Homo-oligomer: A and B are copies of this chain.
Amino acid sequence: MAAGFSTFDNRKIQYIMFEKKDKKPAESKPKLTSLAELGEFGLIDRLTRNVKLHHPETLKGIGDDAAVIDAGASVLLLSTDLLVEGIHFDLTYMPFRHLGYKAAVVNISDIAAMNGVPKQMTVSLAVSSKFSAEALDELYAGVIMACEKYKVDLVGGDTSSNVKGLVISVSIIGEAKKDEIVYRSGARSGDLLCVTGDLGSAYIGLLILEREKSVFQVNPDMQPELSGFDYQIGRQLRPEARTEIRNLLFGIGIKPTSMIDISDGLASEILHICKQSGVGCKLFEGKIPIDEHTREIAKEYKIIPSVAALSGGEDYELLFTVRQEDYEKIKDIAGITIIGHMTAPSEGKYMITPDGKSIPVTAQGWDGMRGK
């Protein structure tokens, strides 16, 4: 084994090991690229460009909501998500139980987005010594609540101390028949673009919580004004995964041509489908489903409600496309809204406003990096 060690550049080991900050060897001084300038998706593309697959049973690697692995009669789905304190959650207003629930749900949602059934989950924690066992009990209680609700088996994990803060890493396995899997890449020009539930409320819930946090920080005797915002705060602190959509669509004889869950915001997810399917899109702003009360609150915050839906994220609804022939089957299904259709790639990616203007659909950068 000592021999293998020398395949690494020993000079480099020593350089990295004992580098003086003000005295860098010339060969180690390329211009460095900051993560912020790459953005999350740029970074992922860059890091994974040299990845080769070895196993024919790996049907889909990086690039969808989950990897797809051939398991004989069925197909296995594998996905993983990190939740980082100070980036994805704020313990000022996120109770541990909700946090555990949400950590599980965002992973379950990835399996739903592949049209699969969630099955097994691992939960790993890196925790600083400031956390008590009782806090982690609550976190696990939330994970277990989600596992009970969605019938997922918690089968493992890892627990480590952390220098600062809390990091939660969840991995999930799902299952489906081979012909049931829906990728991001299957949308065709003319397909109808559909979304479940309503959008933007999770983001508005976040704004409310952040506002009350600010008030509280200025005056700790002020109690938070949260009454009347149950829906919005619930969407932020305790999202649900739309696992029932699989059966609903199956029941009306529809298999989506593409699907993704809405974690980063409607715009970003539409662009993923467009890119991976090689299509354009026409999205109708007036069709985007938004809760009426959320709409009112957004206006109080001087936010255009559709912007909350397009860029807010964390709604964990499903965005999917169906063939145009399926229009009659799907048009009257409660809880599903047709918001546009896919076009030839040459037609671009546009949102049409109620007064007929065309606006390019653009993503809002890396939410993880912005630290929302």
A26 at the interface (CB under 8 A from B): no
Q: Interface 1/0s, chain A 53-64, versus B by CB < 8 A? A: 111011011100
Chain A interface SS verdict (over half): mixed
The B-contacting residues of A in range 92-140, CB under 8 angstroms, are 92-93, 95-98, 119-120, 122, 124-127, 129, 131-137, 140
B160-A120 in contact (CB<8A): no
Rounded to whole angstroms, the CA-CA distance of A324 and B20 in the bound complex is 56
Report how far A14 CA is from B76 CA in the complex, Å.
40
Most chain B C-beta atoms within 10 Å of own C-beta, residue among A6, A76, A119, A162? A162
CB distance B67 to A122 under 8 Å?
yes
Q: Which of B44, B133, B167, B212 contacts A38 (CB 8 A)?
A: B133
Beyond A17-B224, A18-B216, A126-B167, is A95–B155 a contact (Cβ under 8 Å)? no
Which stretch (A185-193, A232-240, A299-307) binds chain B?
A232-240
Q: A244 an interface residue at 8 Å Cβ cutoff?
A: no
For A135, give the chain B residue with the smallest CB separation: B32
Whether B62 and A220, one on each chain, are in contact in the complex, defined by CB atoms closer than 8 angstroms, is: no
Instruction: Give the number of residues in A that approach B within 8 Å (Cβ atoms).
Output: 120
Contacts of A211-233 to chain B: CB distance below 8 A: 212-213, 216, 220, 223-224, 226, 230-231, 233
Q: Provide the residues of chain B in CB contact with A44, threshold 8 Å.
A: 157, 159
Q: How far is the CB of A316 from chain B (nearest CB, A)?
A: 10
> In whole Å, how far is A164's beta carbon from the nearest beta carbon of chain B?
5
> In the bound complex, do residue B124 and residue A169 qualify as a contact, i.e. CB atoms below 8 Å apart?
yes
Which residue of B5, B48, B141 contacts A234 across the interface (Cβ within 8 Å)? B5
- CB A165 to nearest CB in B, in angstroms, measures 6
Q: Which of B1, B13, B147, B156 contacts A98 (CB 8 A)?
A: B13
What is the oligomeric copy number?
2
In the bound complex, CA of A366 to CA of B92 (Å):
29
| Complex contact B2–A158 (CB within 8 A) | no
Of B43, B50, B119, the contact of A159 (CB 8 Å cutoff)? B43
A38 CA to B137 CA in the complex, in Å?
Answer: 13
Q: Are B234 and A155 in contact (CB under 8 A)?
A: no
Report chain B residues within 8 Å CB of A32. 132-135
**Residue A309 at the chain B interface, CB threshold 8 Å:** no
Stretch at the interface among A81-89, A270-278, A326-334, A351-359: A81-89
Which listed residue, B55, B144, B147, touches A119 by the CB 8 Å rule? B55
What are 19 pairs between A and B in contact, CB < 8 Å?
A: A1-B231, A16-B95, A36-B129, A44-B157, A46-B133, A55-B151, A58-B119, A61-B153, A62-B155, A69-B155, A69-B173, A76-B173, A80-B156, A82-B167, A87-B126, A87-B161, A126-B167, A158-B169, A161-B368
**Which residues does A use to contact B, with CB under 8 Å?**
1-2, 4-6, 8, 12-14, 16-18, 20, 30, 32-36, 38, 40, 43-44, 46-48, 50-55, 57-58, 60-62, 66-67, 69, 71-74, 76, 78-82, 84-88, 91-93, 95-98, 119-120, 122, 124-127, 129, 131-137, 140-141, 144, 147-148, 151-165, 167, 169, 171, 173, 209, 212-213, 216, 220, 223-224, 226, 230-231, 233-235, 237-238, 240, 368-369, 371
